[in-house]
Amino acid sequence: MDNQSLFRRSRARLAIWYTGVMAVILGLSGFGLYRALVLANWVALEREVESIAGTLHDSIEPMLLPAENPTELLQQIFPDLCVAGQVCDPPTTLNQRHTTGISDRRSYYIRLFDHHGTLLAYSPNQPLPLSQALNPAPWQTLQADNGPRYRQFTTILHAAHTHADSGESHSHGSWGYLQIGRTLAPFDAEVQRLQWVLTVGLPLALVLVAVSGWGLAGLALRPLYQAYQRQQRFTADAAHELRSPLASLLATVEAILRLPPSQPQDVPPMLQTVERQGRRLSRLIADLLLLTSLEQDFSPPSFKPCCLNDLVTDLTEELSELATASDIHLAHHLPEHEIWVLGHESQLYRLVSNLMANAIQYTPPGGSVLVSLEAHDHRAIIAVKDTGIGIPPTEQSHIFERFYRVDGDRSRKTGGTGLGLAIAKAITQHHRGHLTIKSDVGQGSIFSVYLPVIHPPVVRLEAQNLQDYYRLNG
Ligand code: ADP
């Protein structure tokens, strides 16, 4: 499987997992919300029916005297009710009159029964197919054939004198029953609306989640993909860099082996080539190992105080021979006081010597290289300035990449591996500093290393304490 499809598959898998998890979360919360809303509406509806029934019950009970003809009594109290067994002809003024306590007459109906459970009267808007017989269960849900549903509440009505007269009590204890019903059509419509919102909204939300999941997975995998690609490029570059000296070395060895014994004088120069290529290979491998160790080492480094004045002086002395051989004027400029940093001494030497060697290599004869040291804002600044060929602005962002060369041929000829600046940058970062470049083509370049300084009293502390100090202040 190639890398592209591997990453695409991982991305798809991530997006699918994300969508799946979100589907469960959204599904559960949607269902929970739906249940809560339906329940809240249902409870509110029952409470409303109960409260209307209560009001009605309380207002008519005092008027319910034991009567010979309860229907007549009811007609006096509710002239707009229909009497059971008679043709119902609601008065024309019905809409202006109110059944006690009920303002929304279209949604509610009432029915009154005697204490035997015989229907006495009912409101004209009662759903027709309702049974004439009383079902005394307090709550019922009724539905006419395929018609709207109704929620009905039944309560007992007591005759007036049974409350007032404590000595005399009615044999039944009740006058009759009051039934209040309410259509569930608005409630059912609301539930249907919620169901519709869920059935359409949930899949729609999931499509959005899937699309954003795909995008987010891409975002999350991008740095990994880039790192993977960098790693692959590095491996390919390293193999390529190793192959050329190795091939040349093998060819030379083969030539030596084929050399007739009559030409012993040709052997030493060929062996010198072998040695040169061997050294090049060994330097390349050492550089690669150093880079890898710098990039992988996350443990607290074993740093010691290093005096940068000494470092610059030593390196100027060391490289003066190379500078003289290249006809370059090499000089340094140091401050009067000493500047100390915490670091790995040999790595710091390697960092500055890489910059100085480059400055000498990429400066034409007659030019000059100046290494200056100063401290500013608690930072030590080592600047390596040359009057060399300079680096084009478009190349400046790439020169710290491993194996990158502005002019490959020239760099190889000077023995460069293309790792010098990558190593310099890795060492600087390892010391919690940073490396900058300022360059003009044909004018020269300035490479500046910024490192955190330590103060002389700290220098006297033990190495372990210094590491703690560095960790705490770093
Ligand atoms: P190399 O081993 O090839 O010198 P480096 O990583 O040290 O590799 O440098 C990368 C590239 O940056 C070099 O090939 C060169 O083109 C450019 N370079 C580095 N230092 C300088 C400099 N002081 N002046 C001009 N070009 C430079």
Residue 418, ligand 1, Cβ within 6 A = yes
Q: Give the pLDDT confidence score for residue 168 in this predicted structure.
A: 45
Least confident of 26-30, 155-159, 374-378: 155-159
Determine the distance separating the centroid of ligand 1 and the alpha carbon of 353, expressed in angstroms.
13
Q: Supply the mean pLDDT for the chain.
A: 85
For the cut 60, the answer to whether the pLDDT of residue 170 exceeds it is no
Which atom, in ligand 1's list, is nearest to the CA of 422?
A: 6
Nearest to 158 by CA among 77, 74, 58: 58
Q: Give the pLDDT confidence score for residue 41 in this predicted structure.
A: 94
Confidence label for 180 from pLDDT (cuts 50, 70 and 90): very high
Confidence label for 381 from pLDDT (cuts 50, 70 and 90): very high
Phi, psi dihedrals of residue 169, rounded to the nearest 5°: -125, 145
Confidence label for 276 from pLDDT (cuts 50, 70 and 90): confident
Confidence label for 382 from pLDDT (cuts 50, 70 and 90): very high
- The pick from 287, 369, 414, 421 for probing ligand 1's pocket by mutation, whose C-beta has the most ligand atoms within 8 angstroms, reads 421
What does the pLDDT average to over 414-440? 90
Q: Which protein residue's CA is at the shortest distance from atom 25 of ligand 1?
A: 390
The span from the CA of 446 to the CA of 448, in Å, is 6
Q: Which two tokens stand for residue 154?
A: 């039944």
The span from the CA of 98 to the CA of 93, in Å, is 10
What would the pLDDT profile of 440-463 be if each residue is shown by its tens digit?
A: 999 999 999 999 998 765 554 555
Confidence label for 67 from pLDDT (cuts 50, 70 and 90): low
Least confident of 82-86, 226-230, 338-342, 391-395: 82-86
What would the pLDDT profile of 296-315 be if each residue is shown by its tens digit?
A: 765 556 789 999 999 999 99
What does the pLDDT average to over 115-139? 82
Determine the distance separating the centroid of ligand 1 and the alpha carbon of 408, expressed in angstroms.
10
Which atom, in ligand 1's list, is nearest to the CA of 389?
A: 25
Q: Which protein residue's CA is at the shortest distance from atom 7 of ligand 1?
A: 420
Q: What is the pTM of this model?
A: 0.62
- The pick from 237, 326, 394, 411 for probing ligand 1's pocket by mutation, whose C-beta has the most ligand atoms within 8 angstroms, reads 411
Residue 363, ligand 1, Cβ within 6 A = no
Confidence label for 320 from pLDDT (cuts 50, 70 and 90): very high
Nearest to 168 by CA among 180, 159, 179: 159
Residue 114, ligand 1, Cβ within 6 A = no
Domain annotation for the chain: domains and CATH numbers: 64-85+103-160+172-183 (no CATH), 304-473 (3.30.565.10)
Q: Give the pLDDT confidence score for residue 94 in this predicted structure.
A: 43
- DSSP H or E stretch at residue 448: strand 444-454
The span from the CA of 380 to the CA of 340, in Å, is 8
The span from the CA of 465 to the CA of 474, in Å, is 13
Burial group, residue 269, by CB count within 10 angstroms (0-12, 13-18, 19+):
exposed
Nearest to 133 by CA among 151, 149, 120, 123: 120
Determine the distance separating the centroid of ligand 1 and the alpha carbon of 247, expressed in angstroms.
25
Q: Which protein residue's CA is at the shortest distance from atom 19 of ligand 1?
A: 358
Q: What angle do CA 388, 394, 395 make, to 5 degrees?
A: 55
- The pick from 362, 384, 436 for probing ligand 1's pocket by mutation, whose C-beta has the most ligand atoms within 8 angstroms, reads 362
Q: What angle do CA 82, 88, 92 make, to 5 degrees?
A: 90
For the cut 60, the answer to whether the pLDDT of residue 179 exceeds it is yes
Instruction: Give 172's contacts (C-beta < 8 A, 6+ positions apart).
Output: 115
Residue 154, ligand 1, Cβ within 6 A = no
What does the pLDDT average to over 126-147? 81
Q: Give the pLDDT confidence score for residue 98 in this predicted structure.
A: 45
Q: Give the pLDDT confidence score for residue 193 in this predicted structure.
A: 94
Determine the distance separating the centroid of ligand 1 and the alpha carbon of 376, expressed in angstroms.
27
Confidence label for 164 from pLDDT (cuts 50, 70 and 90): very low
For the cut 80, the answer to whether the pLDDT of residue 212 exceeds it is yes
What does the pLDDT average to over 76-81? 78
Residue 385, ligand 1, Cβ within 6 A = no
Q: Which protein residue's CA is at the shortest distance from atom 12 of ligand 1?
A: 399
Phi, psi dihedrals of residue 173, rounded to the nearest 5°: 75, 0
Q: Which protein residue's CA is at the shortest distance from atom 20 of ligand 1?
A: 358
Residue 357, ligand 1, Cβ within 6 A = no
Q: Give the pLDDT confidence score for residue 471 in this predicted structure.
A: 60
